[in-house]
Amino acid sequence: MDLILQIILIALALVFICFILMITQKKKLSYRYTLIWLFFSFVILVIAIFPQIIMAISNWVHIETPVNALFLISIGAIILIIFFMTIGYSKHSEKITKLVQTNSLLEKRIRELESEKGNQGEI
């Protein structure tokens, strides 16, 4: 791995780790997603510090250049992160649907009780 690329990757990984921690401290990112992002950031940091790992992976998978293996790992990590976020989105979507349905039933019940109270006052 080229020394300049290695330095850039180390710097970017460290900056990104600091950014993730700062955003989490401001409560703009949940801890579950923080752990996912930190995990992949540390993986990139370890690969940048020890380029022999990416060289071994690229040889094992028969990828000609280690940089391409690094891009492949990055794309795989992004796909996994998107998958985890999709799972979270699906759970929240189901919860919102249940909340809307419950709210509608409660509003209907309130209207019924108000109309019964109005009818009793007329008698």
12-64 per-position pLDDT tens digit: 999 999 999 999 999 888 888 888 889 988 988 998 899 899 889 999 999 98
| Any domain includes 57 | yes
| Any domain includes 51 | yes
CB atoms within 10 A of CB 14: 13
| Any domain includes 70 | yes
| Any domain includes 98 | no
Report the predicted TM-score, pTM, of the whole model to 2 decimal places.
0.66
Number of domains making up the chain: 1
Give the separation between CA 73 and CA 103, rounded to whole angstroms.
45
Closest CA to 41 of 23, 14, 22: 14
Q: Contact, 44 vs 9, CB < 8 A?
A: yes
| Any domain includes 65 | yes
- What is the span of the domain harbouring residue 84? 3-88
| Any domain includes 17 | yes
Using alpha carbons only, what angle is made at residue 25 by residues 85 and 35, rounded to the nearest 5 degrees? 40
* pLDDT score at 121: 64
More confident residue, 36 or 90: 90
| Any domain includes 103 | no
| Any domain includes 13 | yes
The percentage of the chain sitting over the pLDDT mark of 70, rounded to a whole number, equals 97
